[in-house]
Amino acid sequence: MVLFFLVVVAAIAFEYINGFHDAANAIATVVSTKVLTPRQAIAMAAFFNLTGALMGTAVASTIGKGMVDLKVVTMQTILCALLGAIVWNLVTWLLGLPSSSSHALIGGLCGAAVASAGGDFSVLKWRTGLLPKVVVPMISSPVAGFIFAALLMLLLLIVLQSFTPHVVQRIFGKAQLVSAAWMAHSHGTNDAQKTMGIIALALFTGTTSGAFAHLPPGLHFLITPAFAVPKWVVVLCAATMAAGTAAGGWRIIRTLGHKMVKLQPVHGFAAETTAAVIIQAASSYGIPLSTTHVISASIMGVGAVKRFSGVKWTLVRRIVWAWVFTLPVTGLLSYLLARGWALL
């Protein structure tokens, strides 16, 4: 029970960090275009992250039982996975790099599971889980975000060419409120569910191992005999992500909203709408998408249409390298933590 408690505490810490680390996903553009003040934007993102987090558990199911062989998973495995992801998230946040919390968690779980299996990589579910739901979307989703955001931006430029800049600014200043709220809601439907899946996995592991055998009858509602996500887990993760988002994430907000490309409301609308559609679609199929990858690529797409040389491509390269290193680094960190734990 002590280990389970530590897992829940680590999961809450990860979700809180995820909230302020990925707050920029929903509000960087709406802040940079001055449609909302930073405080207004964070309040809006926190609320809609909460509403999104309460919608379904398809992604939670994928994370909990679709990535690794459950037979090798212990409470130590889950704890080491979370710790590896937390370390990477804090490092990238300090550097102001919008890396993927989702991939950090998945990489951590895979690395810790391999360590728990004594180095046996066959415990990773490549064909049914990692390849179709992590690796392929990791490449295809940012490409889709870049292309579709650019196409939407081109379409808007054609439609709006007879409008004055003042009218365009006024229309999309209001429209961006809707697109930013939708982006925040979509982020909640995908990202909050990943921590739900980890806690559900811990509950399943504790139940099958007999760790909860002496739990008082009045507390049996807290556990799950089958692989399901209890309501208390859903509410806890949703509220924690909202609280983390409310704490802000200024370093990454500055990177996405100001340093990468200068945006106007129409550009913010195109980027947020594109990202929201892609993330919402992925969530409905239980795909743990990187919301960071999608919105960052969408911003690059609209920026390239505005003026290709206006995108800070040197900064983009740094961001892409952070994406590339997330899975292997978190996997290695969690592997080393789990192996070190086993040697104690």
What's residue 257's pLDDT? 54
Distance CA 59, CA 39 (A): 30
Give the Å distances, CA to CA, from 77 to 117, 177, 205, 270.
10, 41, 10, 41
Residue 123, SS3 per DSSP: helix
Provide the b/e sequence for 251-263 (b: ≥16 CB within 10 Å).
bbbbbbbeebbbb
DSSP structure string for 282-300: HHHTT----HHHHHHHHHH
Distance CA 189, CA 280 (A): 7
Tokens of 129: 């889980």
Distance CA 227, CA 229 (A): 7
pTM over 0.95: no
At 170, the amino acid letter reads: R
What's residue 251's pLDDT? 62
What's residue 42's pLDDT? 80
What's residue 226's pLDDT? 60
What's residue 277's pLDDT? 95
Q: Which residues of the chain have pLDDT under 70?
A: 23-25, 217-226, 248-261, 310, 315
Residue keyed to tokens 């921590």? 195
Distance CA 68, CA 342 (A): 19
Domain extents for the chain?
Answer: 2-337
For 314, the enclosing helix (H) or strand (E) is helix 313-343
- CA 160 and chain centroid, separation: 33
What's residue 54's pLDDT? 84
- CA 312 and chain centroid, separation: 24
What's residue 36's pLDDT? 84
Radius of gyration of the chain (CA): 20
Main-chain dihedrals φ then ψ at residue 249, nearest 5 degrees:
-175, 60
What's residue 253's pLDDT? 64
What's residue 334's pLDDT? 97
Distance CA 295, CA 140 (A): 13
Under 8 Å CB-to-CB from 172, ≥6 apart: which residues?
Answer: 264, 265, 266, 268, 269
* Interhelix angle 165-209/58-65, nearest 10 degrees: 50
At 124, the amino acid letter reads: L
Q: Note whether 28 and 163 are within 8 A (CB).
A: no
Number of H helices, E strands in the chain: 13, 0
Which residue, among 148, 180, 193, 181, has the nearest Cα to 289 in the 3D structure? 193
What's residue 105's pLDDT? 93
